[in-house]
Amino acid sequence: MTEQIAGRLAMRVEGEFWVAYYALPDTMEGAIPLGSIRMGAVQDKRRKQAFMSMMWELVADILEEKTGKRPIQQEIRKAPEHERAKE
């Protein structure tokens, strides 16, 4: 039996901000905003990683509450084409 993913961390650029959401695996519908930071603040790789790590911890908290198990952080994957920002 394969383990189904109960949710994920989704990161989106929205104007001048980078916004983190808890979202279901295949949709942004009903996504819960977790936090945001100005894009200029995450140009430094250490700050970017620190923000992503903090947002992941929030997602792990949500998933642990839902499933009773704390997930390990998964690899970073590009957003599905239908979720990507239009340039």
Q: pLDDT per residue over 73-87, tens digit each?
A: 766 666 667 666 554
- The predicted pLDDT at position 1 comes to 37
Taking 90 as the threshold, does the pLDDT of residue 49 lie above it?
Answer: yes
Rounded CA gap, 28 and 22, in Å? Answer: 9
Q: Are 27 and 33 in contact (CB under 8 A)?
A: no
Secondary structure in 3-state letters for the chain: CCCCCCCEEEEEEECCEEEEEEECCCCCCCCEEEEEEEHHHHCCHHHHHHHHHHHHHHHHHHHHHHHCCCCCCCCCCCCCHHHCCCC
- The predicted pLDDT at position 85 comes to 58
Record the pTM: 0.80
**5-43 pLDDT tens trace:** 678 899 999 999 999 999 988 889 999 999 999 999 999
